Amino acid sequence: MRAPDLERYLHDHIPLARAMQVTVCRLDAAGVTLGAPLAANINHHATVFGGSASAVAILAGWSLTHVRLAEAGIPNRLVIQRNTMHYERPIAGEFAAVAYPPDTEAWGFFVRTLLRKGRARLGVVCELEYQGATAGRLDADYVAMRINDR
């Protein structure tokens, strides 16, 4: 999948992504980076609303897992199960959420479990970036349920 394809998918299937003006800045083996402007996500302090920052980070982690499962050819339903968001500093402009791929061992275990049991959980870490510095961190668990592809 290419970045424009993922962005179109997000805007077509997750209306909040379009409303928040989320863009796919990067999609490669090193992870997924989503960007969003301040104007569509602003709060009463003229900074990014915490819920918007969290939503973009959750969407980045979901996107990373979605793309990797699609590339593996595994039909699934993917949902977030739990998350913890840590805010380190205010964001007063355009920002990004970077989702880092899990290590090879964790990904392999996730895929094997999904194929064997039909359901698996994967931990994903995302960082919020603003002006070249970390502004927050998301620790999330996503659950994939295999869709019977026969």
Q: Are 59 and 14 in contact (CB under 8 A)?
A: yes
Which residues make Cβ contacts (< 8 Å) with residue 133, sequence separation at least 6? 89
**What percent of the chain has a predicted confidence (pLDDT) above 70?**
99
User: pLDDT tens, 23-75?
Assistant: 999 999 899 999 999 999 999 999 999 999 999 999 999 999 999 999 999 99
pLDDT band at 150 (very low <50, low <70, confident <90, very high): very low
Ranges of beta strands (E only) in the chain are 23-28, 31-36, 76-87, 95-100, 119-130, 133-146
Mean pLDDT of the chain: 95
53: left (phi over 0), alpha (psi -120 to 50) or beta: alpha
Domains along the sequence of the chain with CATH: 3-146 (3.10.129.10)
Q: Are 111 and 72 in contact (CB under 8 A)?
A: yes
